[in-house]
Structure 1
Amino acid sequence: MLDPIIAFFERIFHWIGHGIGLLIAWILWPFLLLGRWYRRRGFILRAVIGVLVLGLFVLYGLFFWNALWIRNFDPDYVTKFQQDRLETGAGEQTSIENSSQTTRTCSRSAIVDALAELIDFNVNQNRWMSSMVLYKLGFFGIDWDSTPFLDNKASFQRGAQQAVQRTAIELVDALGRVRGTSAADEDLTRARGRLQYDEYTWYFTLSPPSPILPTPDAYREGRERLLKFNDRLENCNAVFDVRADNLIRFLDRIASDIGSTSAALRDRSDASNAGWFDTRADNQFWYAYGQLYAYYGVLKAAHADFADIIESRQLTDVWDTMEEQLRATLELDPVIVSNGREDGWIMPSHLTTVGFYLLRVRSNLVELRSILDR
């Protein structure tokens, strides 16, 4: 009685095995063909080709090593420079030393230090993936962003960099000048320009063909300018304009940025219900995750820089709730990002999950802005 059922499953497994065999043969066929061609060549040509192939294997090995995981990932990175500043806002004078010459000391900006830490994390502690030549070459001509593997780190880095770029713009346009009417700070302006640099630039460009500054070096220069500004601020030779209207504007910009990412997640979720087989879903998820990772640090730092305003307007509880929700988002860590149906139980929708967290944070930002604007 069970024989037909057993025979049915035997046929199923036979055809699955046959299909896997055909797939492996299709993948290996070009390499077998090249191997036969290689064995027929002369010694010198084989030696040259062997060296080139070995070099390519080494390069790809380094690429895989850098792409597989994010080094020094630490959601609480901002505590390095935030906890001891809740008593004094950014740019506030902290001491005067009287001697033959008066020396003033002011508070550094935790926001600026947070940006410097994020840039260091992205391009010094990790390789900037998007501009690596093997990332640009892709997987047998297929863009890595269109594959289901080795693109998550690049998406995470681009999401974090988006938050850095947005914050750098606000530093130039509002926070680093007096009421927006004074001249823009030179160091912040230079930093903003470098941090807006194209994310995919390698050492050489084809339009026109010429050497060019690679993306990581541009970001490192932007980081140096940020630190230079903060050093001047610490010596009371720069401006950080801590006012409620500047904080309102800053929260508005972050809320808009997060809202754009939420809309992109929604569009991707609507476009596909392929679950684990949606090769673009992981890009959207890790981009949003990187953006939230960066904004968590930036907003924790803003708590320190705008400590007086947050306390005087009785925003501490709402602000702490927002930080807690941001921190909870960073606990998400799916092994495989799935973009299934929202009510699916086998292949859930991780895009909807992270999108929900994004909207909660955005709602908190809107509430904070509303209280400040009263």
Structure 2
Amino acid sequence: MLDPIILFIQNIFSAIGRGIGYVIAWILFPFMSAGRWYASRGFILKGIVGIILAILVVAYGFFVYQTQVWNGFDPDYPAQYKFGDRKLAAGKEFPGEDVNAPKKCQPSAIVEVSAGLIDMEINQNTWITSTPLYKMGLFGLDWDRTPWLDNKASFQRGVNQAVRRTSVELVDRLARIRGTSGINAKLQTARSAILYDETSWYINLPFSIRDPASKQFEIARQNLLAFNAELASCQSIFDGRTDNLMQFVDNMANDLGTTADMLAARSKNYNSGWFDTRADDRFWFAYGQLYGYYGILSAARADFAPVIQERNIAPAWNQMLDRFRSALAIQPAIISNGREDGWIMPNHLSTQGFYLLNARTSLTEIRDVLDR
């Protein structure tokens, strides 16, 4: 009676083995064909091809290192800024005993964190999205459509999304008096630079020569730091009003809402479990966005300290930050997009979406309190 069952199981494993064999053969076919061609060539041509291959091996080895080593990554990174030690809100003048001494004001924590995030992406690490080997893909297939070597790039793009949103807020509201005064030139330059094409390299198809994305992002970082230096010498302004904080929080909540929709759509329409090759880039983009906003919102607590104290929202703000940190605790080795009621393959997108929406709910609750 067990023979049909045993035969059925044997057929399943045999089919799996044949499938794996076909995949391996498909992957190895171009290499085997190239090897046969190489073996039939002359000594000089072999030498030239060998040098090219050696360069490619070294280049791809370095590329793998760039994508797998995450320098500066630390979900608890806001603690290093020691925002709790700040006594004044952003832009407020420090009291001085010498009336003839130059005035000094409190620089912005939001600007400091934004510059630090850019530094992590382009100086401590390589900006992966614009590198030639990433743009070339795997035999022409976009790396985002494979399960390999795209997680760091997606994470960086998520962080960059948070910094971009913040730069817009700085230019349009936070560094202007009631939104009517002139736009700060350094912040305007920073915003333009951080909104630069993320995929741009020195040479781009169809054969245009441009600045790489990392160079423009460095310009943004330098201008953010220059603005903070101006603010520290009381030559710029930071308008830490209640309505500015409310709009700042509201726009971040809307940004996260868009990401939540992206996660929900992928989770609902694709249930391939560990074989969903786009689930990982969706997950790590959202993770990077949460990572960036966690630091920026921690900084906003310091920059808007008087408003937070006056409106008695410190407990709600702390709860919101705790929810962001809880979302960052989810770091699966392999991203699975299985059925939500599945019992073999988990659904990491739904799990992350749950934590993301929790954090977003906290933001909307804070916005509602500020709007009263």
TM-score by length of 1: 0.95
Shift of 1:140: 0.6
Contact 1:122 1:128 in 2 (8 A): yes
Question: Aligned equivalents of 2:82 and 2:307: distance in 1?
Answer: 16
Letter in 1 for 2:98: N
Measure the CA separation in 2 of the matches of 1:357 and 1:112.
26
1:77-133, Cα deviation, whole Å (9 max, x unpaired): 22222424442100111133627x431111110000000110011111111110010
- Determine the structure 1 residue equivalent to 2:218: 220
Q: Is the 8 A contact 1:85 1:305 kept in 2?
A: no
Task: Answer yes or no: is the 8 Å Cα contact 2:105–2:233 preserved in 1.
Answer: yes
Structure 2: gaps of 5 or more residues: none
* 1:340 corresponds to: 338
Question: Does the CA contact (< 8 Å) of 2:83 and 2:299 recur in 1?
Answer: no
Q: Deviations over 1:121-169 (max 9, x none)?
A: 1111111110010000000110001111111111111011000000000
Give 1:52's aligned residue.
52
Tell me what 2:67 maps to: 67
Report what 1:132 is aligned to. Answer: 131
Q: Which residue is 1:315 aligned to? A: 313
Q: Which amino acid aligns with 1:89?
A: A
Shift of 1:29: 2.2
Change (3 A) 1:143 1:185: same
**How far, CA to CA, are the matches of 2:284 and 2:250 in structure 1?**
23
8 Å CA contact 1:131, 1:202 repeated in 2: yes
Instruction: Tell whether 2:256 aligns with 1:255.
Output: no
- Aligned with 1:301 (options 291, 299, 313): 299
C-alpha separation in 1, matches of 2:41 and 2:209: 36
Matches within 5 A, 1:275-294: 275-294=273-292
Contact preservation (8 Å) 2:155, 2:287: yes
- Match for residue 104 of structure 2? 105
Task: Kindly indicate whether the alpha-carbon contact (under 8 Å) linking 1:97 and 1:104 is maintained by their aligned counterparts in 2.
Answer: no
CA distance in 1, matches of 2:266, 2:3: 46
Q: Relative to 1, partners in 2 of residues 1:25 and 1:311: Cα closer, same or farther, differing over 3 Å? A: same
| Match runs of 1:1-374 below 5 Å | 9-96=9-96, 98=98, 101-207=100-206, 209-374=207-372
CA spacing shift, 1:54–1:303, aligned 2, 3 Å: same
Question: Shift of the alpha carbon at 1:267?
Answer: 1.0
The answer to whether the Cα contact below 8 Å between 1:82 and 1:304 also exists between their aligned partners in 2 is no
Structure 1 residue 268 displacement after superposition: 1.0
Could you tell me how far apart the structure 2 residues matched to 1:2 and 1:273 are? 33
| Change over 3 Å in CA distance of 1:13–1:80 after alignment to 2 | closer
Greater CA drift, 308-317 or 80-89: 80-89
Contact 1:159 / 1:288 at 8 angstroms: preserved in 2?
Answer: yes
CA contact (8 A) 1:82 1:301 kept: no
Identity among equivalent positions (%) equals 51
Take 2:35 and 2:97, find their aligned partners in 1: how far apart are those partners? 76
User: What do you get for the CA RMSD once the two structures are aligned?
Assistant: 1.6
CA distance in 2 between counterparts of 1:274 and 1:11 reads 22
- Tell me if structure 1 keeps the 8 A contact 2:176–2:182: yes
Q: Is the 8 A contact 2:144 2:278 kept in 1?
A: yes
Task: Specify every segment of 5 or more residues in structure 1 that has no aligned partner in the other structure, as ranges.
Answer: none
1:17 Cα deviation from its structure 2 partner: 3.4
Q: Per-residue displacement from partner, 1:13-32 (whole Å, max 9, x unpaired)?
A: 44443443343233222212
> Residue 355 of structure 1 aligns to a residue in which SS?
helix
Cα distance between partner residues in 1 of 2:190 and 2:356 = 28
Code of the residue aligned with 1:73 in structure 2: it is: F
Q: Compute the displacement of 1:4 (Å).
A: 6.0
Q: TM-score, normalised by structure 2?
A: 0.96
Distance 1:359 1:15 in 2: 42
Asked whether the 8 Å contact 1:273–1:341 carries over to 2, the reply is yes
Give the secondary-structure state (helix, strand or coil) at the position aligned to 1:106: coil
Supply the distance in 1 between the matched residues of 2:8 and 2:96 (Cα, whole angstroms).
87
- 3-state SS of the aligned residue for 2:343? coil
- Higher mean alpha-carbon deviation, 136-145 vs 41-50, is at 41-50
